[in-house]
Amino acid sequence: MTSAYNHSFLGMVFLSLSIIHSESTSNVYIVYLGLNNIQDPILTSNYHLQLLSSVFPSQEHARKSMVYSYKHSFSGFSARINATQAATLAGMERVISVFRSKILKLHTTRSWDFMGLNLDPIGDQATPLQLTHGDNAIVGLFDTGIWPESKSFHEAPNMHPIPKTWRGKCVNGENFDPKKSCNLKLIGARYYLKGYELEHGLLNTSGNSEYQSPRDANGHGTHTASTAVGSTVKKASFLGFGEGTARGGAPRARLAIYKVCWEDGRCSEADILAAFDEAIYDGVDVISASFGSPPPLVPLYNSSSDIGSFHAMQKGISVIFSAGNNGPDSSLVQNVAPWSTCVGASSIDRNFPTRILLDNSLSFMGESLNTKHIEAYLVGARIFFRGGICRTSRWRNNNAFGAVILCFSTPGSVLIEEAEVAVWGANGTGLIFVDSPTRQYVDVDIIPTIRVDMIQGTKMGHYLSQSMMYPPKVHIFPSKTIIKQSPAPVVADFSSRGPSSISPDILKPDISAPGITILAAWPPGIPPTSTSIDQRSVEWNFQSGTSMSCPHVSGIVALIKSLHPNWSPAAIRSALMTTAYNRDMNHDTILSGGTNEESNPFDIGAGHINPLKAIDPGLVYDLTSDDYILFLCNNGYTEDEIKRIISLVPGKNVNCPKEMTSNTNLNYPSITISSLESSVMIKRTVRNVGGRKTSVYFARIVSPHGVEVTVWPMILFFSYFRDEVSYYVTFKPQKVSQGRYDYGEIVWSDGFHTVRSPLVVCVNINTATPDITIDDSFQTLDRESLSPSFSGA
């Protein structure tokens, strides 16, 4: 055994500790066995049942305990067992890992125009790119289901037949008839409930609060599906706001729904893994999943998302995850496996200014989605809430009818949602909420709510204090929709930041995309605020979160996959990352919401997504089985376990290093060194995918502060006979430092393409820099083979 840890052993230790607490309590556990080498679903299921029977008195007991048999795309099962049985299974030689299924949570249009995918002809093209490609791409969406009647999911004109490779289906269910619901656009719809009900209790379907079917009773799934691949719909708006043509990133792409999330956005890992198993088998090209579990992150072999996405990647399927909504604190990013794409959230260039007038003399400007002219009195929070803290628990039980209440986020760290509920409960006419501008973004509210920054709110508070006799009259005017009037993008304050807490030498998030106040389809039977006190019915709704940025990227990936069907998931992610930009529309560094400072790669990854450039990136960084083997070795997998989970070409061996090495050596589009103690050399390999087979790329380097970065060779030559070239990067610390990250970049350009890789380095030394150490592999390099003359290229 060459790895540092044996997962089965660790599993037994961990599960044995659980036995101390409860030997008899049963929970849903997932038993992961790796690749499915049997290839026959029936035989695989029988094998799973046989394995499970070894910890039960009879096969019948085991059959009743079985939740899912993962039998199509990989091998494993989930079952309701106790900790003793789980520990016994974990100790078996054929088992890679056993872990308890957890409940994950959801991470909850002008955005496409903002990113350059507009409906005007591009260059000399007769029709826009979005409307001519995508028929052959299938996006699998893991979410809360779908409202199939939405115009977003109607067939686009002249759609081709469903791809012959598709093996999925639409299943019957409550208020969901496949014959009426599915078409050439929505080609698949499944739901997974067994794990959720065993872990959470029986589903509450009273009053259409949920449906035992692919139908969406939450709104989240409909919104994300519409964002990713929604058909083109004209004059879409939320109560007149944001009016325009709505469409997904790939409006002609096909959609397959896998409903794994239920009441309040809860998703069972057992159900998620079942969805991965069937989605891979069905033949999706992209999987979009806007959920996760906040840190502390579990090992990759104990995560259904990481296991499922790993096997999807091996089948050429790109898996796109949301980064999470735990920002702006560092190291809380989720979904950090190197074989999936992790997406942060940022703003677009659309605002909803709302004018506030006090006593017909003092004017302020806030933001809201206010539809009417409000005339009332402006009253301080202390009149209605003890200590001026706008929470229901602080209400003085006096009626606030006719009053617009001025509430501050401080003192008490009051959330805007808390203040809204409190003012609504007090029967207030409206709310002016004061908070830091870096944490403000417009959302759909249960009462008229205007957001203002701390400076304007303070002025209002001073004016109120001077109006001792009578409260001032306030006029709040209807909000407007404006574009291109404020810097964008800005990283969302809630977007989870890096570095990764489990693999800090791989940059996460990978990329950022629009995730603030995104307009997309919505079920008309669900209130736009998803609260019982909201009686409005809308077909389009605004939502914010990395849940919204994730499907933006999924749609773009579907478009790229349609244009480049042979590109691997790693190559597609590379195209997204190396073409991303880190300057806003004013050509300044993109700001980081929540801090109002310049963003860095831990906020925004490689940058903000640029779809048109990602379609033609010039060069790509691909990953091979050797890269994944190295990563798995570094994460404690044994050589035998790796052979059982990764598809290897015949004759290929797995050899883990005798000592754990850095994940920096993965051929990732970014380079991250979490602890630079001495000079290191790192290899990267790029492949030319541009239209010019014979091309020359020149390097430009921006070194992180305190680090000398050298690249060799500085010129890369590509030809018809040589489309792949390697280069080497040496990092030499030049300063004494303890734990500070600095940032730079390597940019390759041929005059037509710009291929940018972020550099993220933390120097961690106390003494002068030692001499450069050179890899043994470098000493045997043939310089002529790496750097041919121009004439020979």
Is 773's pLDDT higher than 70?
no
Q: What confidence score (pLDDT) does residue 439 get?
A: 63
User: Looking up tokens 């006190």, which residue turns up?
Assistant: 533
Lowest mean pLDDT among 11-15, 36-40, 155-159: 11-15
CB 619 within 8 A of CB 518: no
Rounded mean pLDDT, 605-614:
96
Is 604's pLDDT higher than 60?
yes
pLDDT per position as a tens digit, 620-636: 999 998 899 999 998 88
pLDDT per position as a tens digit, 747-758: 999 999 999 999
CA distances from 251 to 158, 199, 247, 710, 782 (A): 13, 37, 6, 44, 48
220 is catalytic: yes
Q: What confidence score (pLDDT) does residue 24 get?
A: 58
Catalytic residue among 220, 311, 552, 608: 220
Q: What confidence score (pLDDT) does residue 650 get?
A: 80
Q: What confidence score (pLDDT) does residue 169 get?
A: 96
Lowest mean pLDDT among 499-508, 622-631, 634-643, 779-788: 779-788
Q: What is the identity of the amino acid at 120?
A: D
Distance of CA 291 to the CA centre of its chain: 8
CA distance 339 to 306: 8
User: Looking up tokens 């991470």, which residue turns up?
Assistant: 107
Catalytic residue among 65, 69, 107, 143: 143
pLDDT per position as a tens digit, 71-111: 999 999 999 999 999 999 999 988 999 999 999 999 973 34
Neighbouring C-alpha atoms within 13 Å toward the C-beta of 89: 32
pLDDT band at 412 (very low <50, low <70, confident <90, very high): low
CA distance 503 to 507: 9
pLDDT per position as a tens digit, 467-485: 877 899 999 999 999 987 7
Q: What confidence score (pLDDT) does residue 13 get?
A: 41
Is 788's pLDDT higher than 60?
no
CB 26 within 8 A of CB 12: no
Is 602's pLDDT higher than 60?
yes
Task: Tally the residues of the chain.
Answer: 793
Is 508's pLDDT higher than 50?
yes
Share of the chain above pLDDT 70, in %: 89
CA dihedral sign of residues 9, 12, 13, 15: positive
143 is catalytic: yes
Lowest mean pLDDT among 453-457, 616-620, 774-778: 774-778
Tokens standing for residue 176 = 């969901």
CA distances from 347 to 219, 278, 514, 592 (A): 21, 34, 5, 11
Is 9's pLDDT higher than 70?
no
CB 225 within 8 A of CB 141: yes
Lowest mean pLDDT among 11-25, 63-77, 428-442, 770-784: 770-784
Mean predicted lDDT score pLDDT of the chain:
88
CB 771 within 8 A of CB 733: no
CB 270 within 8 A of CB 101: yes
CB 354 within 8 A of CB 367: yes
Is 269's pLDDT higher than 90?
yes
Is 536's pLDDT higher than 80?
yes
- 219: alpha, beta or left? (left if phi > 0; alpha if psi -120 to 50): left
The set of residues, in sequence order, having a beta carbon less than 8 Å from that of 333 and lying 6+ positions away, is: 323, 324, 342, 344, 496, 497, 498, 499, 500, 501, 508, 509, 602
Is 595's pLDDT higher than 90?
no
Is 768's pLDDT higher than 50?
no
Is 122's pLDDT higher than 70?
no
Catalytic residue among 3, 111, 547, 679: 547
**How would you list the strands of the sheet with 724-733, edge to edge?**
619-620, 680-688, 724-733, 707-712
547 is catalytic: yes
pLDDT per position as a tens digit, 272-297: 999 999 999 999 999 999 999 988 99
3-state helix, strand, coil in the chain (%, to 5): 25, 30, 45
Q: What confidence score (pLDDT) does residue 78 get?
A: 97
Can you list the alpha helix ranges (DSSP code H) found in 338-431?
416-425
Share of the chain above pLDDT 90, in %: 73
Is 694's pLDDT higher than 90?
yes
Is 252's pLDDT higher than 90?
yes
Rounded mean pLDDT, 654-661:
84
Tokens standing for residue 619 = 């060069």
Q: What confidence score (pLDDT) does residue 264 get?
A: 84
Query: Which pTM was predicted?
Result: 0.90
CB 162 within 8 A of CB 276: no
Higher per-residue pLDDT: 332 or 586? 332
Question: Which helix (H) or strand (E) element contains residue 229?
Answer: helix 220-229
CA distance 392 to 96: 50
CA distance 11 to 17: 10
Reference 143, options 175, 105, 178, 181; nearest CA is 105
pLDDT per position as a tens digit, 568-584: 999 999 999 999 999 98
CA distance 276 to 258: 9
Buried b (16+ CB within 10 A) or exposed e, 532-546: eebeeebbbbbbbbb
Is 23's pLDDT higher than 90?
no
Q: What confidence score (pLDDT) does residue 302 get?
A: 93
User: Looking up tokens 């390597």, which residue turns up?
Assistant: 746
What are the backbone angles phi and psi of residue 422, rounded to the nearest 5°?
A: -65, -45
Q: What confidence score (pLDDT) does residue 766 get?
A: 67
Angle at which helix 546-563 crosses helix 569-578, to 10 degrees, equals 110
CA distance 255 to 146: 10
